[in-house]
Amino acid sequence: MTDLFAETRAAFDLPEGVIYLDGNSLGPLPRAAAARIARTVTEEWGAMLITAWNRAGWMEMPRRLGDRIGRLIGAAPGSVVLGDTLSIKVYQALAAALALRPGRRVILSDSGNFPTDLYMAEGLVKTLDAGHELRVVAPEDIAAAIDDDLAVLMLTEVDYRSGRRHDMAALTARAHAAGALAIWDLAHSAGALPVDLAGAGADFAVGCTYKYLNAGPGAPAFIYVAPALQEAAQPALSGWLGHAAPFAFDPAYRPGTGIERMRVGTPPVLQMAALDAALDIWDRVDMGAVRTRSVELTEAFIRGVEATCPELALVSPRDADRRGSQVSFRHPEGYAIIQALIARGVIGDFRAPDILRFGFTPLYTTAAEVEAAVARIAEVMSGRLWDRAEFRQRAAVT
Ligand SMILES: *Cc1c(COP(=O)(O)O)cnc(C)c1O
């Protein structure tokens, strides 16, 4: 391990003896976040009361933190803003994109997309009641399904179940050639691999901050609008903090300038304080180095599991270039296997119907841990240690 990743690992508060391979679902606690939240509570909320919106810079946080995330995803300053949840940001991006292609009616997505993205699109289509159609095809059929009907291509770059990665630049270029706009969901990309939104020509992008960015449960989402589209993009969720002059309390809505118009209402200050602390860790690292280490870890994991657990079938692409920073295997008893692993200190997760999912996060996961995780998985599989009633009891969150 290089000194860089030893340093970043020391920045996290991880429970002793646990190998955490689920940072793709909820990142662990950055040590500085707890103190930072406490300071925001006592020194800002407690001492400054409402004056903290100005004096502690709360009102600018969604933009300031947006710029900090922008550095990780190839977005120019002033093109990313924080707020709400990812589901809401998907809705906002899609509504704005559809309005920019008024003569067209088709939204194209894939069956590997996270259900909430598809649900939000379905809901928007119903609300608009203007004859839009959400067309969902298999991920490998996306390129061929892009045609001149298309209004918007809406994809998640890295599939939450399989870890399969789309070619953002190529598909965006294809969508543009067909006259459509492209929206990219970066839920499993931001902080997981290098992203170059400007270079790929993405029109809109959205993502969350509680997965690879480690800002904690309920942390706000982000939205990116390409600079060239910012003044034309109409915010469907026209909340007061996206207004050109929120404190003019004008009864009529006028969109704010640039990315500001994608704000909706009062931002979650305590969660943004956690995000601010979490992003300090990212300032020290280069995404290229993170990616190199991530590929090493995922390759070692695949090699180890395939060598010791023949009954687990690899779901993720074998070619690292086509994979995000997670590895998934398939087994009909996947849920019980994950529970047995958690009981032995290896935390991954399960996605219905049969996917065992493991996330790899170089900031705090070492090669030695990957090796130890493989050994524990091999023990659980060869000894059928998962085959107990208690491991089949389904909890609300899998
Ligand atoms: C995690 C994830 C979400 C979650 O949306 P929330 O509104 O934050 O709950 C949405 N889309 C994708 C692709 C995800 O991976």
Residue 210 annotated as catalytic: yes
pLDDT of residue 2: 55
Atom of ligand 1 minimally distant from the CA of 211: 1
Contact 299, 323 (CB under 8 A): no
Contact 65, 83 (CB under 8 A): no
Strand 222-225 vs strand 80-82: parallel, antiparallel, or unpaired?
A: antiparallel
Which residue is associated with the tokens 């309005």? Answer: 99
As a whole number of angstroms, the distance between CA 158 and CA 113 comes to 9
**Distance from Cα 185 to the centre of ligand 1, integer Å:** 9
Assign a CATH topology to domain 57-282.
Aspartate Aminotransferase; domain 2 (3.40.640)
CA distances, 58 to each of 54, 193, 222, 249, 260 (Å): 7, 29, 16, 19, 14
Place domain 2-29+286-392 in its CATH homologous superfamily. Answer: Aspartate Aminotransferase, domain 1 (3.90.1150.10)
Return phi, psi of residue 109, to 5°.
Answer: -140, 180
Domain ranges of the chain: 2-29+286-392, 57-282
Which residue is associated with the tokens 């300053």? Answer: 77
Contact 213, 86 (CB under 8 A): no
- Predicted confidence (pLDDT) per residue in 91-120, tens digit: 999 999 999 999 999 999 999 999 999 999
Percent helix, strand, coil in the chain, to 5, is 45, 15, 40
Which residue is associated with the tokens 């920045």? Answer: 11
Tens-digit pLDDT string for the chain (398 aa): 458 999 999 999 999 999 999 999 999 999 999 999 999 999 999 999 999 999 999 999 999 999 999 999 999 999 999 999 999 999 999 999 999 999 999 999 999 999 999 999 999 999 999 999 999 999 999 999 999 999 999 999 999 999 999 999 999 999 999 999 999 999 999 999 999 999 999 999 999 999 999 999 999 999 999 999 999 999 999 999 999 999 999 999 999 999 999 999 999 999 999 999 999 999 999 999 999 999 999 999 999 999 999 999 999 999 999 999 999 999 999 999 999 999 999 999 999 999 999 999 999 999 999 999 999 999 999 999 999 999 999 888 88
What is the SS3 assignment for 375? Answer: helix
| Active-site hit among 9, 36, 165, 211 | 211
**Distance from Cα 62 to the centre of ligand 1, integer Å:** 19
Which residues line ligand 1 at a C-beta cut-off of 6 Å? 85-87, 114, 116-117, 156, 160, 185, 187-188, 208, 221
Q: Which residue from 22, 25, 87, 349 has its CB within 8 A of the most atoms of ligand 1, so it is best to mutate? A: 87
Atom of ligand 1 minimally distant from the CA of 117: 11
pTM for this prediction? 0.97
Nearest CA to ligand 1 atom 2: 187
pLDDT of residue 3: 83
Task: State how far Cα 6 lies from the chain centre.
Answer: 24
Does residue 332 have a cis bond before it (omega within 30 degrees)? no
Contact 317, 158 (CB under 8 A): no
For residue 235, the 8-state DSSP code is: P
Residue 247 annotated as catalytic: no
| Active-site hit among 110, 117, 185, 349 | 185
Closest by CA position to 392, among listed 351, 330, 335, 347:
335
What is the SS3 assignment for 185? Answer: strand
| Active-site hit among 91, 160, 204, 210 | 210
What is the SS3 assignment for 64? Answer: helix
